């Protein structure tokens, strides 16, 4: 695991409206949970002890050990995601690592004591995992690969499943292909670089500045393009002998997509998996290009898709080609506001994790 060598951020967060009492260990029917009552910035988040039902049919109770933050959660909190939170009292969060405490009737895939990861098919308002304990559908929980600690585990499933599903299953990436990866310093971006390099493709990382160049090269990038100072299309064309990239794997969207698509081959493919630029997206007109919108839940909602995802991630972890990058570790649910502030600053490389 690659981690920030600095001491984990333990600075006292802005505690207004936060419940800072010690975790309740004497009341098994409650859970300390992050909620928000209105959309907005990190300050709308609060921690509250809420009732915790026993797991029902097809459900599992997970004791959360670490949370992995994702851009989708910042968008959801701000009211800018593709679906809106149910307010007041919306939950938040997709990705966690923990241990199964109990299972409901009909659950056979998991047992108490199992180390697990969360992610597939979670609806954040009702099932968000920012909590010390959470009840989830068994289908939203997968086995944690052997030897994977909780902090690293919280940085693994969603990033590598998105990279696999978006680039290989949807984008058809093959050995020898060039792939342009935008937002390359994000958790998914780093996983995409490692995934492309693992199958013999040639990843081209696009990031705003050159400050993270060395870290991106260390994670598989063959070329790093700083979009604030470099002409992305020109650099990709130069690097590919003016042919262009076979695949563009884009987290940004917006009106810049049409220009970015000019860096693709004549019959190239664009896979848009995020919308960091919330302005209207411009459709590329340099046809016969193919443009896909990728939703991770579409692939992971099927047993066969989930089987392929989990097999691919596990194999990459076993052979060491997948090295989940943790950019910063925060301590405790009370640090969730500061963790979201760092995520929105774009100053980190890899995944931000909150350890409980």
| SS3 of the chain | CEECCCCCECCCCCCCCCCCCCCCCCCCCEEEEEEECCCCCHHHCEEEEEECCCCCCCEEEEEEEEEECCHHHHHHHHCCCCCCCCCCCECCCCEEEEEEEEECCCCCCCCCCCEEEECCCCCHHHHCCCECEEEEEHHHEEECCCCCCHHHHCCCHHHHHHHHHHHHHHCCCCCCCEEEECCCCEHHHHHHHHHHHHCCCEEEEEECCHHHHHHHHHCCCCEEEECCCCCHHHHHHHHCCCCCEEEEEECCCCCCHHHHHHHEEEEEEEEECCCCCCCCCCCCCCCCCEEEECCHHHHHCCHHHHHHHHHHHHHHHHHCCCCCEEEEEEECHHHHHHHHHHHHHCCCCEEEEEEC
Higher pLDDT, 26 or 198: 198
Share of the chain above pLDDT 70, in %: 92
Find the mean pLDDT for residues 135-145: 96
What pLDDT is stored for residue 45 in this prediction?
A: 98
Higher pLDDT, 5 or 347: 347
What pLDDT is stored for residue 283 in this prediction?
A: 83
pLDDT digits (tens, 9 = 90+) for 35-59: 999 999 999 999 999 999 999 999 9
Q: Band of the pLDDT at 10, cuts 50, 70, 90?
A: very low
Average pLDDT, the chain: 91
pLDDT digits (tens, 9 = 90+) for 319-328: 999 999 999 9
Q: Band of the pLDDT at 135, cuts 50, 70, 90?
A: very high
Please check the confidence at residue 64 and state whether its pLDDT lies above 60.
yes
Find the mean pLDDT for residues 60-87: 95
What pLDDT is stored for residue 284 in this prediction?
A: 85
Q: Band of the pLDDT at 185, cuts 50, 70, 90?
A: very high
Find the mean pLDDT for residues 184-206: 97
Please check the confidence at residue 97 and state whether its pLDDT lies above 80.
yes
What pLDDT is stored for residue 25 in this prediction?
A: 36
């Amino acid at each position: 695991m690659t981690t920030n060598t600095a001491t984990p951020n333990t600075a006292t967060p802005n505690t207004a409206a936060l419940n800072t009492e010690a975790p309740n260990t004497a009341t098994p029917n409650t859970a300390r949970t992050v909620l928000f009552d209105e959309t907005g910035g990190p300050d709308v988040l609060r921690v509250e002890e809420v009732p915790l039902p026993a797991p029902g049919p097809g459900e599992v109770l997970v004791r959360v050990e670490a949370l992995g933050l994702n851009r989708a959660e910042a968008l959801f909190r701000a009211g800018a995601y593709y679906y809106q939170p149910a307010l007041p009292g919306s939950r938040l969060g997709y990705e966690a690592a923990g241990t199964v405490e109990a299972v409901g009737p009909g659950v056979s895939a998991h047992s108490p004591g199992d180390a697990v990861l969360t992610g597939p098919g979670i609806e954040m308002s009702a099932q968000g995992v920012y909590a010390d304990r959470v009840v989830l559908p068994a289908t939203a929980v997968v086995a944690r690969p052997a030897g994977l600690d909780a902090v690293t585990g919280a940085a693994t499933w969603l990033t590598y499943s998105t990279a696999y599903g978006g680039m290989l299953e949807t984008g058809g990436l093959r050995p020898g292909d060039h792939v342009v990866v935008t937002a390359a310093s994000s958790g998914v971006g780093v996983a995409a670089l490692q995934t492309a390099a693992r199958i013999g493709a040639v990843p081209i990382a696009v990031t705003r500045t050159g400050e993270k160049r060395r870290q991106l090269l260390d994670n598989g990038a063959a070329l790093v393009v700083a979009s604030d100072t470099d002409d992305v299309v020109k650099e990709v064309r130069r690097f590919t002998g003016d042919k262009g990239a076979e695949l563009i794997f884009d987290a940004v969207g917006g009106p810049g997509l049409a220009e970015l698509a000019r860096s693709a081959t004549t019959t190239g493919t664009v896979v848009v998996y995020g919308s960091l630029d919330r302005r209207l997206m411009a459709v590329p007109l340099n046809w016969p290009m193919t443009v896909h919108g990728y939703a991770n839940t579409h692939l992971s909602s099927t047993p066969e898709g989930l089987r392929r995802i989990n097999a691919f991630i596990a194999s990459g972890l076993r052979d060491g080609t997948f090295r989940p990058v943790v950019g910063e570790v925060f301590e405790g649910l009370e640090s969730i506001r500061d963790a979201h502030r760092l995520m929105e600053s774009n100053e980190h490389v890899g995944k931000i994790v909150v350890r409980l």
